[in-house]
Amino acid sequence: MTSTNNLNQLDPTFMYTKIFKDILLDMEYDERSIKQFIAYCRNNDCMNPQTIDRFEKEYHAELAIWWFTFPCNIYYMVNYALRCMEGDAIINMGFFIHDLHQQILQLHQQQIHNYHGKPFIVYYGQGLPKKDFEKLQQKTGGLISFNKFLSGTMEREIGLSYALSASENADTVGILCVLSIDPHVQSVPFASIKDVSSLREEEEILFSMHTVFRVVAIKQTENNNQLYQVELQLTSDDDQQLRLLTDRIREEVRGSTGWQSLGNLLLKTGPFNKAEELYNVLLEQTSDEGEKALYYNQLGSVHYNQGDYEKAIWYYAQGLKIRQKTLPSNHPDLATSYNNIGVVYHNIGEHSKALSYHEKALESQQKALPENHPDLATSYNNIGGVYNNMGEYSKALSFYEKAIEIQQKTLPQNHPDLTTSYNSIGDVYHNIGEYSKALSMYENAIEIRQRTLPSNHPDLAISYNSIGGMYNKTGEYSKALSSYEKAIEIQQKTLPSNHPDLATSYNNIGGLYNNIREYSKTLSYYEKALEIRQRTLPSKHPDLATSYNNIGVVYNNFGEYSKALSFHEKALKIQEDTLSSNHPDMAASCNNIGGVHHKMGEYSKALSFYERALKIREENLSLNHLDLAISYNNLGAVYHNFEEYPKALSFYEKGLEIQQKALPSSHPDVATSYNNIGAVYSNMREYSKALSFYEQALEIQEKTLPSNHPDLATSFNNVGGVYHNMGEYSKALLYYERALKIWRLVLSPSHPHIKNLKENFELVRKKIIKHVS
């Protein structure tokens, strides 16, 4: 039984299980399917041997209901497989599910006129765990669905007996569902099965999968707080938006066979272990080399999504070996295999290997395809992605532009592939700080998606997240939050509650609150993301490392350094176990750990981790990659603390040099570097130089940041401090006042920044009074 918080909206899992059902019902089955099921039952002791023998001799499609009601475990096997999406069981029972639905449909068509359009009542008794019952109580007036074959009775006492039996368990609530059935309602088929059931003494009504009911009322029965009557009214699935989205997703997962479609659906919805079960069974059952290559490839995708990159490469490589033996050297499927392996190497940070495989794919395609074929655009985009991660943004942009040029010539102007290219180009502009160009590209992408997709399609959430990220970077936090919330609203309506994309959105919102220093909210969103990832991903998935790092940053900001270190060290351990030794993500973790030691005043430890991060980045990234600037700035900060000012200046200047080459002159990160250099000169008492750099920082920030941005307060405070030291107290007071005004808006009254600034403010004020007197 599934439901959702919006009373007139079905749970997102309803859509995916409905597509799942449609795929099963559209597939063709033969005698081999029955034999496979019988072998499956014998190997897994699903029924006693005599019953299996009888099923083998007697079963045919017209006996599906008889066997479903016969006390031999098939009833439980079918409904458990459907409810839990058990791939292995569903593969082996697909024929039976198909036959059962078809027999119910046939009986429904024969019987519908017997009701003369008059409503009638069906009873269904069951037990619900107390937590699930509490959720059901919140759904009064709303919709629920049963993702199984629902069996009810016309006899109230029989339904009540099941509910009473369940109520005897202290952890369970017994519920008697009173189902009001209006034959006029367009719904899934249902039928009286008394004449075809193995239990002919009962007036049983059997509903096919995905019946939808409205919860009319929930009433406690007299003298029993463990027993409730739930009144349900059969209704149709009339959610137009959900129907449009269902049709779209169905097209997106369509494969050349039903089983391939089923696997694609499982890959899309996120229960990757179920997809793995399905593909392993299909791989065992086929002798066709082409199908084997396909299933190896899909198993590679499963392990890639699980973050098990070593296994992903192994499976992709097995598929590639078969294709190299059986296909011409310029066959498109070879390019697909090369690209898949390249994507894995890209993700583990082995950029040279990634480029090598993507270039092999491109070479194969250039030999076999016209120069404007869309598949060439895919390879150009893949190569561009590697260069983007390496920080070689001009090369990345060049390949992305080649891709979009092909797509604009050969595809309709609203084709989904164009959105991928627009987003990729937007990401490059985002990385180099050309935010207006980035926004333009992101808006091109979302415009196509809004024209071509249902309003609640998950791809729209991707666009909203991209736009939110851009606004977050420029400090336009209200706009960023609005975009992020649009994304998460779509995902909550259309994705399972533990889908990885929801974790990404929670992280985005958490990052925004981190930027505006609302750390309690930050932690709440990061923990939501972590909870999803812990439920759905293997314990060593790199995305878990990302979540651990995020939470570590919050604890660092709280000043809870031992907790921060614990989370950052967990992240680094995962990365050391799963990524290449010079992967950029490991450098980020080393920087995080160094940052905690830095705040704790353990400068030697901080220096060690910062140097490890720099070494990884120097080995792996282009000379002008912005992550190198981050490392140089971190090292400069440590040497600053050591009071080794020449070394600090040297590192800060290296960082600034990279930023000036890679970023627009007005980029906020350039302002940060100016502030860092200004601070060194201030400590060296070269106040005129310090003032020059601080003023350059402030000039940038006043042009690019909102008037109440915390970084502006920092710069006002810095300039005020220099004037303070230079004895120009009136100017110092003016800048301190501007800093205090902002910090009072964005920080708590007890924040150390406000406390220190008030003390400086008072010192300056006293000196002005003394000077005047």
Highest mean pLDDT among 302-306, 343-347, 501-505, 548-552: 548-552
Residues 195 and 120 in one domain: yes
| pLDDT recorded at residue 578 | 84
Assess whether pLDDT exceeds 70 at residue 240.
Answer: no
pLDDT of residue 241: 65
What's the pLDDT tens digit per position in 693-752? 999 999 999 988 888 888 899 999 999 999 999 999 999 999 999 999 999 988 888 888
Give the mean pLDDT of the chain.
Answer: 89
Number of domains making up the chain: 3
Decide if 753 is inside a domain: no
DSSP state of 142: S
Q: Tell whether 145 is covered by a domain.
A: yes
Per-residue pLDDT reduced to its tens digit, 373-406: 999 999 999 999 999 888 888 999 999 999 999 9
**3-class secondary-structure state, position 327:** coil
Residue 666 lies in a domain: no
Residue 88 and residue 165 in one domain: no
pLDDT band for 532, please (50, 70, 90 cuts).
Answer: very high
Residue 252: pLDDT above 90? no
Give the pLDDT confidence score for residue 5 in this predicted structure. 47
pLDDT tens for each residue of 468-493: 999 988 778 899 999 999 999 999 88
pLDDT tens by residue, 8-63: 556 656 777 778 888 888 888 888 889 989 999 999 899 999 999 999 999 999 99
CB contact set of 238 (below 8 Å; sequence gap of 6+): none
Q: Which of 514, 469, 513 lies closest to 487, judged by CA?
A: 469
Tell me whether residue 696 is in a domain: no
377-383, long-range: CB within 8 Å, 24+ apart, which pairs? Answer: 377/402, 377/403, 377/404, 377/406, 377/407, 377/417, 377/421, 378/339, 378/403, 378/417, 379/335, 379/339, 380/406, 381/420, 381/421, 381/424, 382/339, 382/342, 382/343, 382/346, 382/358, 383/355, 383/358, 383/359
Q: Clarify whether residues 28 and 71 are in a common domain.
A: yes
**Residue 265 corresponds to which tokens in the numbers above?**
């659906």
What is the average per-residue pLDDT within 224-233? 89
Predicted local confidence at residue 415, as pLDDT: 85
CB 125 within 8 A of CB 163: yes
Q: What is the pLDDT of residue 3?
A: 44
List Cβ neighbours of 575 (8 Å cut-off, separation of 6 or more): 542, 545, 583, 585, 586, 589
Mean of pLDDT values over 651-663: 92
Instruction: Point out which residues pair with 220 in neighbouring strands.
Output: 228
b/e burial code for range 521-555 (CB count within 10 A of at least 16 → b): bbbebbbbbbebbeebbbebbbbbbbbbbbbbbbb
Q: CA–CA distance from 701 to each of 207, 515, 518, 666, 682 (Å)?
A: 65, 15, 21, 8, 20
Residues 144 and 212 in one domain: yes
The closest alpha carbon to 635, from 595, 690, 600, belongs to 595
Residue 459 within any structural domain of the chain: no
The pLDDT of residue 237 is: 65
Q: Say which residue, 91 or 234, is predicted with more confidence.
A: 234
Do residue 94 and residue 122 come from a single domain? no
Instruction: Evaluate whether 505 touches 483 at the Cβ level (below 8 Å).
Output: no
- Specify whether 102 is located in the same domain as 155: no
Residue 606's pLDDT is what? 97
Share of the chain above pLDDT 90, in %: 58
What pLDDT sits at residue 531? 96
Over residues 125-149, mean pLDDT: 88
Token reading at 512:
């925004």
Cα separations (Å) of 405 from 156, 421, 699?
68, 10, 39
For the stretch 300-359, pLDDT in tens is 999 988 878 889 999 999 999 999 999 998 898 999 999 999 999 998 878 899 999 999
* Assigned domain for 473 exists: no
Q: What is the CATH number of the domain that holds 538?
A: 1.25.40.10
Residue 508 scores a pLDDT above 90:
yes
In a domain, 165, yes or no: yes
Determine the 3-state secondary structure of 194 from DSSP.
coil
The residue count of the chain comes to 773
**Cα end-to-end span (Å), the chain:** 81
Cβ within 8 Å of residue 273, ≥6 positions away: none
* Paired sense of beta strands 150-153 and 227-235, if any: unpaired
Could you tell me if residue 742 is inside a domain? no
Cα separation, 443 vs 699, in Å, equals: 29
Tell me if residue 231 falls in helix, strand or coil. strand
Q: What tokens were used for 41?
A: 């039952």
Q: What is the mean pLDDT of residues 117-143?
A: 90
Q: Who contacts 196 (Cβ-Cβ below 8 Å, separation ≥6)?
A: 65, 66, 103, 107
Instruction: Please check whether residues 156 and 238 belong to one and the same domain.
Output: yes
* The pLDDT value given to residue 721: 94
Residue 127's domain comprises: 114-243
pTM for the model stands at 0.71
Asked if residue 236 and residue 118 are part of one domain, the reply reads yes
Encode 165-191: b = buried (16+ Cβ within 10 Å), e = exposed: ebbeeeebbbbbbbbbbebeeebbbbb
Residues 121 and 237 in one domain: yes
Q: How far, in Å, CA of 124 to CA of 228, rounded?
A: 12
3-state SS record for 261-303: HHHHHHHHHCCHHHHHHHHHHHHHHCCCHHHHHHHHHHHHHHH
CATH of the domain at 223: 3.90.176.10
Q: What is the pLDDT of residues 266-313, one digit of tens each?
A: 887 766 777 888 889 889 888 999 999 999 999 999 998 887 888 999
CA atoms of 315 and 295, how far apart (whole Å): 9
Question: Which one has a higher pLDDT value, 640 or 764?
Answer: 640
Which stretches of 323-476 are assigned E, i.e. beta strand? Answer: none
The answer on 138 and 204 residing in a single domain is: yes
End-of-domain residue from the set 208, 243, 278: 243
CA geometry: angle 764, 767, 772, nearest 5 deg: 130
What the block records as the tokens of 384 is 């561009």
d(CA 108, CA 25): 17
Retrieve residue 739's tokens: 């800093």
Q: Residues 103, 125: one domain?
A: no
Q: 71-74: long-range contacts at Cβ-Cβ below 8 A with a sequence spacing of 24 or more?
A: 71/198, 72/47, 72/48, 73/46, 73/47, 74/47
